[in-house]
Structure 1
């Protein structure tokens, strides 16, 4: 985590009125990439920083933010390669160390005097885990992880499942979809073309329909076409982290929200965290992979409770 009080380009403009007012500023990453940061809610309350995954942008958190804005300050931002943030072209610009540093830059800009509560979904959760398990970090009060384990923990989980006998092998077989789609997203020409043609958006919409029983989500809700630059996150991190994992631990309070019908990241692969987070808990929640979109109330309720509990027990002094 990088030190506070670094300069940031602030271009603030309102996008609403009243309690739900949304303001936007741009914070510069350590390599100069502009990050579009969006804030709403009670400015005097604890800050909840939400980090999205692929192929979303900050809008995947709109429902959750609307639920939380009356009690906390909610900050979202477009991860590099998505939304209004910069879209660097080099693969190395999407490594987890850089993405975690981006989170640190946003924290420094929006909450220089108080730690924040991280909430991550999908690759946003992977990034949040990486930031939280940085031994130098001191600005994170809690982590809520949704459908995205720490990438360095995955090889250890696989080994534990292989040694666990039939039930462990069943857990591994249940995760068979992840290598398929993650491998596809690393194919240089095919994956960007599938995003550009809308095939990824259509597939996600069908998957959401399968998980929730609801009508397929509008393809624009997932924005793979616009955010295809963030595909570089897969290439930059998967093989290096899985082949040479680190034992990353944290004393920060962690809660995992494991959607029961997530067909991409199964509950079994998310809940074995006691080894890595000594102050941790797991909640099974109703919904599929895109639970921030389809069941924002459940997410908001757990985040609100966790933030309140942490503030009452240890204060905002981490």
Structure 2
């Protein structure tokens, strides 16, 4: 197997075991009971993706995808509230957590991220339909699958939190500029101002250097002071989660915003809008109904990291939407 430029090389045995359809630790057939958590290594191209699955193997599957600069642990509290009723699948996206971390920016393009999701569901729930739930960059990348053809018959619904489709944003910007409408232009300018970090991440080397010289250690304090996450703690992958994840922005933002594609959702979509999100403003939902035939928008009183600060509300909204579309 060609590895490419990858930071780590997990042992081959778990990969072969997983490929044959067995659990990497106990080498027994995949059977799950409520509250158990099983770890898997999924082959996606020349990478290994780290995934965990828990809940009842016969229950409705939910796939939860995290954003930046997080890993699958961002869904811990939501998972605790849903695993008794559903089969919960979470994975570290490429560049984060325990998954492989490609060094090339082109390795983080949206179609490859969509391939990772496809690899995970094909390995863990082959042929089954599932409900997709995502936050931040997890949400941005999942729009690629929700508006694509590969999984259109398997994604039963999509709940998006604080992560728009970049193509939709590109059309939204074009519409605002071409309209010469002052209120629209002001709303666009407001969002661009809140997206300052996107522009900073386009600068080579600098964001990575900031993570390496200490932002990883400061990050829990930032979350406590600005995002209302009182129990934020340092985790060992934070530096790498931050410095590799900036490649997501470099690989996709400019190309998608300047050359947006026509992307129509293939399933019902629920957009949860945290009212106090400091990065993704509510106006990005303007005109979304043009791209989503079956759309529900739910505003909640929360800052950006709603899966952590409002896990009960998020879990409730997810469960209700899943019930409506099962």
Instruction: Report the Cα offset of residue 234 of structure 1.
Output: 1.1
Alpha carbons of structure 1 residues 108 and 56: separation in structure 2 relative to 1, 3 Å = same
Alignment of 1:255-294 (within 5 A): 255-270=270-285, 272-294=287-309
- Does 2:128 correspond to 1:114? yes
Instruction: Report the Cα offset of residue 208 of structure 1.
Output: 5.5
TM-score (normalizing by structure 1) = 0.87
Alpha carbons of structure 1 residues 94 and 140: separation in structure 2 relative to 1, 3 Å = same
Unaligned 5+ segments in structure 2 are 1-17, 27-31
Aligned to 1:171: 187
Distance 2:111 2:73 in 1: 24
Q: What secondary structure does 2:317 align onto?
A: helix
Aligned to 2:11: none
Moved more, 198-207 or 99-108: 198-207
Alpha carbons of structure 1 residues 289 and 33: separation in structure 2 relative to 1, 3 Å = same
- Does 2:140 correspond to 1:126? yes
Aligned to 2:149: 135
Aligned to 1:198: 214
Alpha carbons of structure 1 residues 87 and 11: separation in structure 2 relative to 1, 3 Å = farther
Alignment of 1:173-188 (within 5 A): 173-188=189-204
- Does 2:105 correspond to 1:91? yes
Q: Could you tell me whether the CA contact under 8 Å between 1:142 and 1:307 is conserved in 2?
A: yes
Q: 1:12 aligns with which of 3, 7, 24?
A: 24
Instruction: Report the Cα offset of residue 10 of structure 1.
Output: 5.2
Q: What secondary structure does 1:40 align onto?
A: strand
Aligned to 1:299: 314
Q: RMSD across aligned C-alpha pairs, in angstroms?
A: 2.3
Instruction: Report the Cα offset of residue 206 of structure 1.
Output: 2.9
Distance 1:271 1:9 in 2: 44
Moved more, 59-68 or 156-165: 156-165
Q: What secondary structure does 2:107 align onto?
A: helix
Distance 2:221 2:21 in 1: 36
Q: Could you tell me whether the CA contact under 8 Å between 1:35 and 1:80 is conserved in 2?
A: yes
Moved more, 203-212 or 191-200: 203-212
- 4+ residue runs over 4 A deviation: 6-11
- Does 2:252 correspond to 1:252? no
Unaligned 5+ segments in structure 1 are 1-5, 312-318
Instruction: Report the Cα offset of residue 8 of structure 1.
Output: 6.5
Q: Could you tell me whether the CA contact under 8 Å between 1:9 and 1:27 is conserved in 2?
A: no
- Does 2:40 correspond to 1:28? no
**Residue deviations 1:105-132 (CA, integer Å, cap 9, x gap):** 1111121131111111111001111111
Aligned to 1:157: 172
Q: 2:72 aligns with which of 48, 58, 78?
A: 58
Distance 1:186 1:100 in 2: 22
Equivalent pairs, count: 301
Aligned to 1:235: 250
Aligned to 2:60: 46
